[in-house]
Structure 1
Amino acid sequence: MNWFEQFDGYCERTDFTYWSEPLNALTNASFIIAAILMWTRVAHLFWGRVLCAVLFAIGVGSYLFHTHATAWASLADVAPIGIFIFVYLFVVNRHMVGWPIWASLVGVLGFLPYAAGVTLALDPLPFFGISNFYWAVPILLLAYAALYRRQMPLTARGFVIGAAILSLSITLRSLDMPLCDAFPVGTHMFWHILNGIMLAWMIEVYRRHTVEAPPASA
């Protein structure tokens, strides 16, 4: 694999110069700002701080991808996103739902075949196939909200809000190329802005859970 191979997958990009995607690049500040703001709010939570650090890395990685547009930058973009999903899922399973450690880890590993199944199911569908993998996350959030709505109603409502924001974000991501002729700067920048808000909100949901509900486990 050529890690320095460049490719164009976004409406805003017109060539392979560094600033060909200025809006897509600069809107990654949403992740950086969100991470900094949430850092102080979760000062008492180890896993909250871990999530903030990964959120910061998402902003950096995505910035690199939308400026360099290379294979290595793509990895820098997607790897922190995957890490955030895994860490947050562990936090939900272990510290919010209260599963034992072994079950929490199995639940995290179970995300891989689950996401693969969702991706394969959505791939042939018009529109949904564009961002097929990402739809696995709001679906999972809604599933947790439904399963634990009585055990932790406020947290479940937080999951629903997060799923709604992410669904809008994924929709705008998917419209980037289809609307390119009508909206030449593209809609991918809104994916960044809304995701910064959504990920900060999910960290806030965790923080509120620790305040409003008795600890599920130490």
Structure 2
Amino acid sequence: MDWLQQFDGYCERTDFTYWSEPLNAVSNIAFIIAAVILWRRCAGVPMARSLSGILFVIGIGSYLFHTYATVWASVLDVVPIAIFILFYLFLVNRDIVPMGAWKAVFATAFFIPYAATTVPALNRVPFLMISSFYWTVPLLLALYAIFLRRRPGIAGGFLTGAALLSGSIILRSLDESLCDAIKIGTHFVWHILNGVMLGWMIHVYARHMLATGRTER
């Protein structure tokens, strides 16, 4: 694998210079701002602060990808996102469902076969196939909201997150197809909405932990 290989995957990029995607790069400040705000608000909830730290790293990784546009930068972009998804899912299973830690580990591991079966199905739908993996997340949030429907604060929080993420995925998927009409593309809005969405999801978790008095978990 050539870790230095560059590739152009977004409307805004016109060459392989460092600032060829200025909006896509700078819009990652949304992740940083959300991470800092949630870090300050989640004092006493260590796992929420851990999520805030991962969110900060997501912003850095995405910035590097949209400036260097290399294979190594792509890895730094996607790995923190995957870690956030799995860690958040573990915390939901352990602290919100709730279940024991080991049961939560096994329940979280089911995300892998879930995604492995859902992504191929989504790949058969023309528009959804563009961001097929990402669609697994709002769908899963909706499923958890249904399961936790007797707890409206949690269920409503998850549905709000699912709606925000669905909107951002749509804009991510429209980036290339609207390139002729919108020269700057729409990918930068994906960053902004995702910063809001991930910050919101951290808030939902922290709010639950504070309300149940389990602030040191």
Q: TM-score, normalised by structure 1?
A: 0.97
* Matched AA of 2:36: I
Number of residues of Structure 1 aligned to a counterpart in Structure 2: 216
Please tell me whether residue 203 in structure 1 is matched to residue 199 in structure 2: no
Residue of structure 1 in register with 2:48 after alignment: 48
Deviations along 1:15-52, whole A, 9 cap, x unmatched?
A: 00000000000000000000000001111111111100
CA deviation after TM superposition for structure 1 residue 188, in Å: 0.2
Shift of 1:138: 0.3
Verify: 1:32 aligned to 2:32, yes or no.
Answer: yes
Matched, 1:190 2:186: no
1:31 aligned partner, one-letter code: F
Helix, strand or coil: the match of 1:108?
A: helix
1:125, distance to aligned residue in structure 2 (A): 0.9
Asked whether the 8 Å contact 1:116–1:133 carries over to 2, the reply is: no
Q: Displacement of 1:212 after TM fit?
A: 3.1
Q: Which moved more, 1:121-130 or 1:23-32?
A: 121-130
User: Secondary structure of 1:131's match?
Assistant: helix
In structure 1, what is the equivalent of residue 120 of structure 2?
A: 120
Q: TM-score, normalised by structure 2?
A: 0.97
Identical amino acids, percent of aligned pairs = 57
- Equivalent residue letter for 1:14: T
SS class of match (2:110):
helix
Which amino acid is 2:205 matched to? Y
**Counterpart-to-counterpart distance in 1, 2:190 and 2:125:** 21
Equivalents in 1 of 2:153, 2:64: separation in Å?
37
Superposed CA RMSD: 1.2
TM-superposed deviation, 1:213: 4.0
User: Which region of structure 1 is more displaced relative to structure 2, 101-110 or 1-10?
Assistant: 101-110
Which amino acid letter does the alignment assign opposite residue 103 of structure 1?
K
Determine if contact 1:28/1:59 at 8 Å carries over to the other structure: yes
Any gaps of 5 or more consecutive residues in structure 2? none
Aligned counterparts, 1:68-217, within 5 A:
68-150=68-150, 152-213=151-212, 215=214
CA distance in 2, matches of 1:7, 1:71: 8
